[in-house]
């Protein structure tokens, strides 16, 4: 009998449930010691057909896709999954199909590495005893009462002795208990936030409706890889534009799956040098008078000296900078090619094509702005896009693809879930929106005198050195701090900042310095591995129910799929139990139940009316529904019954090219900018944007000019040379990019053996570079940066530019304590925590050295032991 099945018996399964486990895991279990008969695969399939029930579930992770999954449940166990079959599939009204990651969800929920009981480090002692053993210690099982008592005692001790500012974390309970210190910054969207706010008033944050993309003649996708970054329907939707006649041009440093699927042309560009390429394209357009001068004059400020914003120096205009009028450096294609690696002829033809093709969509992903001082890329991208005049017209647009909120296409939100009804819990140490984080309306102000906390990239230094960089609002300079506790009681969504923030080696040192680290989790993820006490939490499948949104055309609803496994509890239950122990009233922390919250979110769901403007209730609620659910509420009339939406698990708004729901972003503004100003300081699109320069300076990390200028980034291409003039390479000659990878959603799913087998965590290099180093595919190589070392199997591929190497982001770090080398290929061992801009993490400006590893070759990841503790 497998160890999993032995341990499964510790859970209170019925005989039928155990049989379900057996069928789910082996399809033909044979367990003589429990008196069960051998089951053939055919008999198991028949059992599933007779006794199983298909119920809607969802994949709850932050992957950018929003999809429907269904689970076959047999006596409380999910034994099979499938995806959307609620209606016939068509390009206009597509099924919301799940990807390979979503369809592996059951292996995450029912995996042998699920945390089953509260666990404590064997040698942990209150007050920070033996903290140097975090990540090295054994684990022992303790009771819930013991675990909660320990956590509450430490929380009270640290609050009373050091104050709430010594606690790093965020939760509803902490806010009721006096608040905590926060981390802030920009991870997913890189440097895009403040440029979007100040240059465009968020005008270019989302694009035209997906059906309008079919009207484009040309679609440029810069640094975009939706086939990996957001699985589900986005690539399928883009394919419809290609079938309608659009030409696709991709700009990237490697030939991605999206390039292979969609591209008609591929433009290579070195990481972090995109600004130079864009400036050279602008030079060609200006030199040949290809810019849309009418659009620039009417709708923008700052392009030339005659159209500068009020108070600005006329010499600081974009056109004269590109021509080199004042600095003596014309930004020619030849100038750029030396930096970005793109052939000058290709730069000219590319610029010619985007300038003369209308309508055109000019779109970027977040990735090129996840760089040191990445605002310069955002400035350049928007400016060159606006020079074409492809704004506010059908089949045209200039924007960044906000994967998380609109599933890589724009338009209105046609259907949305309601509020849970749970009153907000404000952090009393900082009652305003955390600066650096978008709160739905703006990026909060770094000049706020109540602002506090450290940038993501400064967290570990703040713990180790007792200070962090203060923004203009708190006077700038260094702010003293004394962080004693890391608190991460949260849901099971997989947030894992130790693995996903830069400089893991420094992070481990910081984790081993504080007095206490408490987490909850569904598995022993990286952050929980280095904790003192880990509390087993439920996955969303084990909760009362959830509404997932983000796809503007659909919402996904699912009730509890299975009962909580082993001793897993919800985070609300944990907070309520801890509240009692620290002197708070649980009913004030959570005045309404989890079921009531779920019901409220369904009741409050809204769907757009046929007029394309107003909204109405989505779900019909009867008094019988209210009574059966045992909740409070009022009857209402909607478009779908409560029973139907819960049984289907999805509501999707049907679309057609002639419906009343298509959006052309900025159409009214472009027709009459004076009558329809946008929310920038000038009311226009700001090529010269002093507000951007001022706000970035207020963060106190780096500065940026008010127009797009190329400044070599820290750890960028130029830094790979010890002698740039003579092109002599230095200690770290390769640029590393950190790719989204099919195996994971960030770090989530990295524990699934099937996905590890399908997507090995290989290190990618161009064959020309491999040949120079005497390397071949399959070799284990050592990759080293100034911040750490990893080893990985090598894959040589023409798909990546010479001088560029790549690793998929999110692998679970496995540090060899003797050598300090990570064998998992966790990219944040190599990426340094460098302060930049608005606190963006500059992952894609990292430089490394590569050589053949002299130690033992690595086993394939899928053969590694899972992190199973009991």
Q: Which of 400-404, 597-601, 637-641 has the lowest mean pLDDT?
A: 400-404
Same domain for 395 and 440, yes or no, is no
pLDDT of residue 48: 62
Tokens of 11: 């859970």
Residue 24 confidence (pLDDT) above 50: no
Task: Identify the bridge partners of residue 585 per DSSP, sorted by sequence position.
Answer: none
One domain, residues 161 and 222: no
Structural domain range at position 352? 193-411+667-699
- Calpha distance 438→496 (Å, rounded): 20
Examine the domain organization and report whether 515 and 370 are in the same domain.
no
Token code pair at residue 228: 């990996």
**Is 231's pLDDT higher than 60?**
yes
Instruction: Note whether residue 711 is domain-resident.
Output: no
According to the model, what pLDDT value does residue 404 have? 46
Lowest mean pLDDT of 285-289, 410-414, 554-558, 779-783, name the range: 410-414
The whole-number pLDDT of residue 738 equals 94
**So what's the pLDDT on residue 474?**
87
| Same domain? 723 vs 578 | no
Q: Which of helix, strand or coil describes residue 821?
A: strand
The verdict on 123 and 11 lying in the same domain is no
The CATH number of the domain holding residue 587 is 3.40.50.740
Q: How many domains does the chain have?
A: 4
Confidence of residue 450 (pLDDT cuts 50, 70, 90): confident
Q: Does the CA dihedral 791-796-799-805 come out positive or negative? A: positive
Query: Over pLDDT 70: what percentage of the chain?
Result: 91
Query: Are 542 and 512 found together in one domain?
Result: yes
Residue-wise pLDDT tens digits, 650-673: 999 999 998 989 889 999 999 999
**For residues 447 and 471, is the Cβ–Cβ distance under 8 A?**
yes
| Distance from C-alpha of 162 to C-alpha of 481, rounded to nearest angstrom | 10
- Tell whether 134 and 22 lie within a shared domain: no
Domain identity same for 498 and 573: yes
Using pLDDT thresholds of 50, 70 and 90, give the confidence band for residue 10: very low
Going by C-alpha positions, the residue among 562, 573, 508 that lies closest to residue 536 is: 573
Q: What is the pLDDT of residue 550?
A: 79
Domain assignment present for 173: yes
Q: Please report which helix (H) or strand (E) contains residue 545, including its range.
A: strand 545-548
What is the percentage of the chain residues whose pLDDT exceeds 90? 77
828 and 735 belong to one structural domain: yes
Query: Are 672 and 534 within one domain?
Result: no
Q: Taking 60 as the threshold, does the pLDDT of residue 23 lie above it? A: no
B/e letters for 59-70, b = 16+ CB within 10 Å, e = fewer, are bbbbbbbbbbbb
Dist. CA 269–CA 371, nearest whole Å: 14
Q: For residue 273, tell me if it sits in a domain.
A: yes
Distance in angstroms (rounded) separating the CA atoms of residues 597 and 617: 17
Residue 795 lies inside a defined structural domain of this protein = yes
Cross-strand bridge partners of residue 737: 806
pLDDT class of 440 with cuts at 50, 70, 90: very low
What does the mean pLDDT of the chain come to? 90
Whole-number Å distance between alpha carbons of 369 and 365: 8
What is the per-residue pLDDT across 587-605, written as a single tens digit (0 to 9) for each? 999 999 999 999 999 999 9
| Token pair listed for 575 | 């907070």
Residue 4 has pLDDT above 80, yes or no: no
pLDDT at 204: 73
User: What integer pLDDT is reported at residue 14 of this predicted model?
Assistant: 38
- Please indicate, yes or no, if residue 345 is contained in any of the structural domains: yes
Return the minimum-mean-pLDDT range out of 398-412, 691-705, 748-762.
Answer: 398-412
State the pLDDT at residue 37: 42
Measured CA angle at 822 (ends 520, 258), to 5 deg? 85
Q: Tell me if 737 is assigned to some domain.
A: yes
Which residues have a Cβ under 8 Å from the Cβ of 867 and sit 6 or more positions away? 113, 523, 524, 529, 751
Q: pTM score, two decimals?
A: 0.93
Pairwise CA distance, residues 320 & 341, whole Å: 24
pLDDT of residue 47: 65
Other residues' Cβ atoms within 10 Å of the Cβ of residue 49: 9
For residue 21, pLDDT over 60 is answered with no
Q: Give the tokens for residue 727.
A: 């092109």
Distance CA 164, CA 90 (A): 54
Q: Are residues 490 and 354 in the same domain?
A: no
CATH number of 209's domain = 3.40.228.10
List CB contacts of 263: < 8 A, sequence separation 6 or more: 248, 249, 250
Report pLDDT for 409. Answer: 65
Query: Is the pLDDT assigned to residue 360 strictly greater than 80?
Result: yes
Shared-domain flag, residues 371 and 313: yes
Report yes or no on 631 lying in a domain.
no
- Does 783 fall in a domain? yes
């Amino acid at each position: 009998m497998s160890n999993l099945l032995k341990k499964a018996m510790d859970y209170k399964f019925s005989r039928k449930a155990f049989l379900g486990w057996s069928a789910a895991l082996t399809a033909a279990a044979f367990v003589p010691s429990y008196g069960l008969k051998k089951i053939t695969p055919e008999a198991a399939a028949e059992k599933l057909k007779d006794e199983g029930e298909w119920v809607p579930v969802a994949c709850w992770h932050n992957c950018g896709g929003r999809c429907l999954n269904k689970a076959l449940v047999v006596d409380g166990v999910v034994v099979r999954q499938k995806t959307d079959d609620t209606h016939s599939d068509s390009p206009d009204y597509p099924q919301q199909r799940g990807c390979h990651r979503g369809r592996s969800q059951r292996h995450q929920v029912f995996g042998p590495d699920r945390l089953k009981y509260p666990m404590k480090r064997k040698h942990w002692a209150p007050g920070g005893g033996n903290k140097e053993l975090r990540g090295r210690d054994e684990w022992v099982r303790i009771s819930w009462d013991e675990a909660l008592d320990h956590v509450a005692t430490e929380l009270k001790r640290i609050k009373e002795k050091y104050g709430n500012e010594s606690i790093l974390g965020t939760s509803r309970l902490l806010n009721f208990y006096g608040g905590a210190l926060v981390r802030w910054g920009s991870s997913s969207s890189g440097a895009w936030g403040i440029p979007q706010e100040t240059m465009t008033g968020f005008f270019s944050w989302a694009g035209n409706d997906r059906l309008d993309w079919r009207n484009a003649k040309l679609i440029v996708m810069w640094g975009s890889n939706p086939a990996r970054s957001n699985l589900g329907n986005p690539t399928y939707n883009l394919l419809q534009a290609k079938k309608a006649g659009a030409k696709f041009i991709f700009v990237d440093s490697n030939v991605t799956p999206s390039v292979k699927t969609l591209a008609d042309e591929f433009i290579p560009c070195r990481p972090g040098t995109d600004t130079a390429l864009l400036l050279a394209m602008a030079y060609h357009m200006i030199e040949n008078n290809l810019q849309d001068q009418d659009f620039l004059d009417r709708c923008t400020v700052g392009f030339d000296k005659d159209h500068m914003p009020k108070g600005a120096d006329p010499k600081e205009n974009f056109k004269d900078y590109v021509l080199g009028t004042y600095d003596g450096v014309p930004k020619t294609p030849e100038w750029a090619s030396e930096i970005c690696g793109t052939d000058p002829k290709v730069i000219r033809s590319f610029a010619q094509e985007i300038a003369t093709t209308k309508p055109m969509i000019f779109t970027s992903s977040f990735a090129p702005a996840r760089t040191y001082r990445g605002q310069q890329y955002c400035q350049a991208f928007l400016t060159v896009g606006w020079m074409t005049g492809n704004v506010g017209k059908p089949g045209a647009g200039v924007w960044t693809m906000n994967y998380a909120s609109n599933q890589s296409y724009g338009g209105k939100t046609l259907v949305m879930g309601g509020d849970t009804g749970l009153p907000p819990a404000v952090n009393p140490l900082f009652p305003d929106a955390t600066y650096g984080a978008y709160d739905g309306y703006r990026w909060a102000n770094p000049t706020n005198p109540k602002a506090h906390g450290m940038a993501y990239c400064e967290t570990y230094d703040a713990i180790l050195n007792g200070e962090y960089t203060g923004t203009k609002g708190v006077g700038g300079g260094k702010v003293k701090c004394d962080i004693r506790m890391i608190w991460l009681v949260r849901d099971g969504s997989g947030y894992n900042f130790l693995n996903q923030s830069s400089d893991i080696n420094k992070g481990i040192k910081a984790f081993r310095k504080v007095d206490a680290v408490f987490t909850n989790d569904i598995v022993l993820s990286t952050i929980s591995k280095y904790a003192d006490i880990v509390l087993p939490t439920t996955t969303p499948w084990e909760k009362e129910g959830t509404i997932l949104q983000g796809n503007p055309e659909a919402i996904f609803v699912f009730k509890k799929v299975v009962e909580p496994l082993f001793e897993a509890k919800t985070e609300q239950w944990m907070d309520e139990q801890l509240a009692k122990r620290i002197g708070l009233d649980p009913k004030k922390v959570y005045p309404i139940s989890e079921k009531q919250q779920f019901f409220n979110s369904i009741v409050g769901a809204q769907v757009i009316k046929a007029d394309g403007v107003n909204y109405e209730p989505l779900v019909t609620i009867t008094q019988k529904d209210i009574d059966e659910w045992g909740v409070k509420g009022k009857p209402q009339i909607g478009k779908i019954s409560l029973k139907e939406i819960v049984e289907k698990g999805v509501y999707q708004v049907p679309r057609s090219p002639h419906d009343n729901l298509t959006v052309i972003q900025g159409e009214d503004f472009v027709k009459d900018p004076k009558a329809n100003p946008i929310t920038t300081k000038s009311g226009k699109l700001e090529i010269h944007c002093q507000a951007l320069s001022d706000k970035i300076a207020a963060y106190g990390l780096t500065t940026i000019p008010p127009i797009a200028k190329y400044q070599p980034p820290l750890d960028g291409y130029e830094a790979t040379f010890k002698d740039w003039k003579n092109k002599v390479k230095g200690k770290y000659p390769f640029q590393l990019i950190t790719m989204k990878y099919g195996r994971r959603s960030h770090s989530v799913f990295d524990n699934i053996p099937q996905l590890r087998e399908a997507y090995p965590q290989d290190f990618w290099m161009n064959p020309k570079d491999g040949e120079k180093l005497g390397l071949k595919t399959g070799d284990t190589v050592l990759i080293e940066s100034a911040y750490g070392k990893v080893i990985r199997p090598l894959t040589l591929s023409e798909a990546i530019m010479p001088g560029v190497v790549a690793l998929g982001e999110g692998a679970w770090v496995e540090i060899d304590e003797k050598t300090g080398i990570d064998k998992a290929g966790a990219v944040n061992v190599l990426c340094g925590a460098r302060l930049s801009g608005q606190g963006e993490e500059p992952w894609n400006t990292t430089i490394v050295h590569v050589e053949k590893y002299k130690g033992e070759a690595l086993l394939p990841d899928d053969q590694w032991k899972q992190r199973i503790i009991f």
